[in-house]
């Protein structure tokens, strides 16, 4: 009888261990995610919706939304009171503000124009808004048959490494790269005169010296007057006169950020996850510019465009 009682106790203990071990979700703490934005525009809403829909499963997220109107001390106090496990920040100002508030809470960010943000702290990663040069040149082939002379305006202080990469990739894809250096604002007009030579297309890359709000009008005018199509940086560039630009699916940006956040919630360090390029590519076309440049755009390319300006 003593022997049977001992066996019974062992069986009960084993049963308890099995029950507890097979139900980790019930014992697991909910991941508290602070979602910070400073806009209610549609792109932001889509990026938030995509993030929340994708961040699900065993992590059991608890979302707290904070709309940052101003960098106020009350908002800073809210972060401390909420004590989130992770911050999802949308936009440049919001991300910079979040970085100022904490150096320990992981920050996943997107809709950021300045990619240097991702290098400023060890607790931030996310999805950039620019596409890799490999992707850019692969898409060039959908519009232009190589070989073509592709110019890139750039400031060496910002993009020397990018141009080295572009040299390799352009050759691999059958294009000839024509790098044009612009080190000061005064050099830009002279650099744009190069478009009157043997340049077939001008590819814009993120560069504060050559491709910004301040230079857009001058660059677009030179592109149009020399009949050299400009591949822009965003939908707005296409609307203003670029031939086309690779663009983003805002909902998928959010989903991509959620996949990164789930890795962090599962124990991965932020340092181990580099900021990613958008995984889903869409594009916007300006057919009026195509007509003015005597270019034919296939019906399939037009059909699959995110937006068409005409």
pLDDT in tens, 133-185: 999 999 999 999 999 999 999 999 999 999 999 999 999 999 999 999 999 99
pLDDT score of 23: 36
pLDDT score of 76: 78
Parallel, antiparallel, or unpaired for β 244-247 and 282-286?
antiparallel
Question: pTM of the entire structure?
Answer: 0.84
As a residue count, the chain comes to: 310
Q: How far is CA 248 from CA 126, 235, 279, in A?
A: 14, 9, 9
**Dihedral class, residue 83 (left if φ above 0, else alpha if ψ from -120 to 50, else beta):** left
Percent of the chain with pLDDT over 70: 88
**How far is the C-alpha of 39 from the C-alpha of 285, rounded, in Å?**
26
Q: In what order do the strands lie in the sheet with 176-181?
A: 176-181, 149-154, 201-203, 230-231, 244-247, 282-286, 307-309
CB 280 within 8 A of CB 248: yes
Is it the case that residue 113 has pLDDT exceeding 90? Answer: no
Q: What residue spans define the domains of the chain?
A: 27-129+250-272, 133-247+282-309
Cis peptide before 7 (omega within 30 of 0): no
Mean pLDDT, residues 77-94: 92
**How far is the C-alpha of 216 from the C-alpha of 5, rounded, in Å?**
84
pLDDT score of 57: 63
Same fold yes or no, 27-129+250-272 and 133-247+282-309: yes
207-258 pLDDT, tens digit per residue, is 999 999 999 999 999 999 999 999 999 999 999 999 999 999 999 999 999 9
Question: Which of 179, 130, 129 is closest to 156 using CA atoms?
Answer: 179
**How far is the C-alpha of 5 from the C-alpha of 103, rounded, in Å?**
56
Three-class secondary structure of residue 252 per DSSP: helix
Is it the case that residue 17 has pLDDT exceeding 50? Answer: no
**How far is the C-alpha of 243 from the C-alpha of 65, rounded, in Å?**
38
Is it the case that residue 89 has pLDDT exceeding 90? Answer: yes
Mean pLDDT, residues 106-117: 94
Fold of 133-247+282-309: Rossmann fold (3.40.50)
CB 200 within 8 A of CB 149: yes
pLDDT score of 214: 95
3-state helix, strand, coil in the chain (%, to 5): 50, 20, 35
DSSP codes joined into one string, 78-102: HHHHH--SEEEEESHHHHHHHHHH-
Comparison of pLDDT for 236 and 1, the residue scoring more: 236
pLDDT score of 88: 98
CATH, domain range 27-129+250-272: 3.40.50.2300
């Amino acid at each position: 009888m003593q022997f049977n009682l001992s066996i019974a106790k062992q069986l009960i203990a084993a049963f308890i261990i099995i029950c507890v071990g097979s139900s980790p979700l019930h014992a697991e703490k909910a991941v508290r995610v602070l979602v910070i934005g400073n806009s209610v525009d549609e792109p932001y809403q889509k990026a938030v919706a995509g993030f929340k829909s994708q961040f699900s499963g065993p992590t059991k997220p608890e979302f707290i939304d904070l709309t940052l109107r101003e960098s106020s001390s009350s908002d800073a106090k809210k972060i401390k009171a909420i004590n989130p496990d992770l911050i999802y920040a949308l936009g440049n100002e919001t991300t910079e503000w979040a970085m100022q508030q904490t150096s320990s809470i992981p920050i996943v960010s997107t809709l950021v124009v300045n990619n240097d943000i991702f290098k400023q702290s060890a607790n931030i990663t996310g999805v950039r808004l620019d596409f890799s040069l490999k992707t850019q040149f692969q898409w060039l082939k959908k519009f232009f048959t190589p070989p073509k002379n592709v110019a890139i305006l750039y400031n060496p202080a910002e993009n020397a490494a990018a141009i080295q990469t572009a040299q390799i990739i352009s050759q691999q894809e059958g294009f000839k790269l024509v790098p044009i250096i612009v080190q000061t604002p005064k050099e830009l007009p002279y650099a744009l005169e190069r478009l009157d030579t043997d340049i077939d297309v001008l590819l814009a890359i993120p560069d504060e010296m050559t491709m910004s709000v301040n230079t857009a009008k001058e660059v677009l005018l030179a592109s149009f007057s020399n009949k050299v199509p400009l591949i822009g940086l965003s939908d707005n560039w296409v609307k203003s006169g670029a031939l086309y630009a690779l663009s983003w699916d805002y909902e998928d940006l959010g989903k991509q950020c959620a996949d990164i956040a789930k890795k962090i919630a599962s124990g991965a360090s932020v340092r181990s996850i580099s900021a990613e390029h958008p995984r889903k590519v869409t594009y916007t076309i300006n057919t009026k510019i195509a007509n003015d440049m005597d270019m034919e755009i296939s019906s399939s390319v037009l059909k699959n465009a995110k937006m068409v300006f005409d």
